[in-house]
Amino acid sequence: MLRAATLASGSSGNCAVVSDGRIHILIDAGISTRRISQGLKGLGLELRHISGVLITHEHTDHVAALPVLCKQTQAALYTAEDTAYELCRKWSGLEARFRVFEPGQRFAVGGLEVGTFATSHDCACPVGYWATDGTRKLVLCTDTGVVTPEAREGVRGADTLIGEFNYDPEMLRTGPYPFHLQERIRGNWGHLSNEMGGRLAAWAGAQGTRRVVLAHLSQENNRPGLALEAARRALGELGLGEKDVELVSAPRSEPTGWFEV
């Protein structure tokens, strides 16, 4: 049985876990190792159970725990080659831990098959991931300014999608961020708005996805209610409702608990 949970999701830190009951993998590690450990314990796991960490990109809110995590676990680090290069420039001594790939490649972590796809973000080589046990498919697609063709294909066939709903356009426009940062966020190498995330969620739902986890909500520029409203509206435009696609807003600083993929 494939299960997943988010331990934290938002601009201040991101970490998720996917497991088939035997192999347990983190997706990003952007909160402290202590918080990861606490979150895993709530799921019945310990740090020593982690077999690998899938890294989407090198921004701090996705990788902050890596140096300490590598001291406390034997987990391999999986990421695109250019991302690994940037992380090795930042932290020495991690080189031997990396298992690098080019976006689009697939690989096995124990009994799980993992797929990768290119996203669009202002960093070295951003990617999203899917993982399958051969029966169910989980997809994580966050930190992308547009839904790339590769991302759309990666999302196709997902049973559960963890997708980005980063900002509400009006909150971003009237909020505290300076104009240049607003432009970065809403640009093609920034983040998905609620409306863009909703369109991807609805498209996925039309392909058979039955759960969408609304992820990476900005603390300053979004609210869970606004993201959920946008997702419901997009689903409704395709004749879908929450009886067809379950919507869950990932907490910013707390674990979700396990959900079956």
**Within-domain flag for 204:** yes
The pLDDT of residue 8? 98
**Within-domain flag for 257:** no
The pLDDT of residue 47? 97
**Within-domain flag for 261:** no
**Within-domain flag for 171:** yes
Q: Which residues pair with 132 in a beta bridge?
A: 113, 137
Buried b (16+ CB within 10 A) or exposed e, 49-61: bbbbbbbbbbbeb
248, containing H or E segment: strand 246-249
What's the Cα-to-Cα distance from 122 to each of 78, 125, 147, 184, rounded to whole Å?
19, 9, 14, 9
Minimal CA–CA distance to 54: which of 75, 32, 72? 75
CA torsion angle 35 53 110 204 (round to 10):
100
Helices (H), the chain: 33-42, 60-63, 66-72, 81-90, 149-155, 169-174, 179-186, 194-207, 224-237
Minimal CA–CA distance to 171: which of 229, 117, 122, 128? 229
Q: Which residues pair with 164 in a beta bridge?
A: 215
Q: Count structural domains, the chain.
A: 1
**Within-domain flag for 180:** yes
CATH code of the domain containing 167? 3.60.15.10
The pLDDT of residue 166? 98
pLDDT in tens, the chain (261 residues): 999 999 999 989 999 999 999 999 999 999 999 999 999 999 999 999 999 999 999 999 999 999 999 999 999 999 999 999 999 999 999 999 999 999 999 999 999 999 999 999 999 999 999 999 999 999 999 999 999 999 999 999 999 999 999 999 999 999 999 999 999 999 999 999 999 999 999 999 999 999 999 999 999 999 999 999 999 999 999 999 989 999 999 999 999 999 999
Residue 175 has which token pair? Answer: 């909020």
Residue 28 has which token pair? Answer: 């990003």
**Within-domain flag for 187:** yes
Q: What domain range is 130 assigned to? A: 3-252
Could you give the 3-state DSSP secondary structure of residue 93?
A: coil
Contact of 17 with 7, CB cutoff 8 Å: yes
Q: Which residues pair with 139 in a beta bridge?
A: 130, 161
pTM over 0.75: yes
**Within-domain flag for 158:** yes
Buried b (16+ CB within 10 A) or exposed e, 163-175: bbbbbbbebbeee
The pLDDT of residue 71? 95
The pLDDT of residue 115? 98
**Within-domain flag for 258:** no
CA torsion angle 210 215 221 225 (round to 10):
40
